[in-house]
């Protein structure tokens, strides 16, 4: 299956993230897409015109497109307390800008995050959004979906 940035993605459910990520051309968000597709009910679509991962129509990770974000960064939704700990522990990888500071999210420099940490982040974001009372059961109509959700 070809990724959004033109890299080839080989994905097998149950494989460790490190193995999935090594089979992915690590250009931008493709590794996140490959890992995201291993999670239940995930669809690869767009948010604000950029590649995104959604669970039951609710975005949990996307390419950071605001001009305040560093290039090759992604936004991952999470609890603010967890976000603050990540930024404190590894500010070279995890950060915020004024645009994102009020939201329950963290910015991640994709060039610095390990495949294992990326997997942990995405699984946590998936749980965080899935537990939200506002998570919809299906994606918004009229939105173009690149791939369908996995069962």
Per-residue pLDDT tens digits for 83-133: 999 999 999 999 999 999 999 999 999 999 999 999 999 999 999 999 977
pLDDT tens sequence across 33-59: 999 999 999 999 999 889 999 999 999
Residue in this structure with the two tokens 């239940």, named with its chain if needed? 40
Tell me the C-alpha distance between 1 and 147, whole Å.
10
Q: Which fold does the domain 43-130 belong to in CATH?
A: 3.90.1150
Predicted TM-score of the model (pTM): 0.73
Residue, of 25 and 136, whose pLDDT is higher: 136
Across the beta sheet with 50-55, the strand order is 42-47, 50-55, 58-63, 73-77, 105-109, 94-95
* First and final C-alpha spacing in the chain: 17
């Amino acid at each position: 299956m070809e990724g959004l940035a033109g890299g080839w993605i080989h994905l097998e459910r149950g494989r460790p993230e490190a193995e999935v990520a090594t089979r992915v051309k690590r250009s931008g968000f493709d590794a996140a897409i490959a890992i995201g597709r291993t999670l239940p009910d995930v669809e690869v679509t767009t948010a604000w015109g950029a590649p995104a991962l959604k669970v039951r129509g609710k975005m949990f990770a996307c390419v950071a497109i605001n001009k305040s974000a560093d290039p090759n960064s992604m936004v991952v939704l999470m609890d603010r307390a967890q976000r603050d700990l990540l930024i404190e522990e590894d500010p070279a990888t995890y950060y915020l800008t004024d645009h994102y500071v009020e939201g329950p999210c963290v910015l991640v420099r994709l060039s610095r995050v390990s495949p294992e940490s990326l997997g942990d982040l995405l699984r946590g974001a998936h749980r965080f959004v899935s537990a939200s009372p506002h998570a919809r059961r299906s994606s918004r109509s009229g939105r173009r979906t690149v791939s369908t959700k996995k069962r």
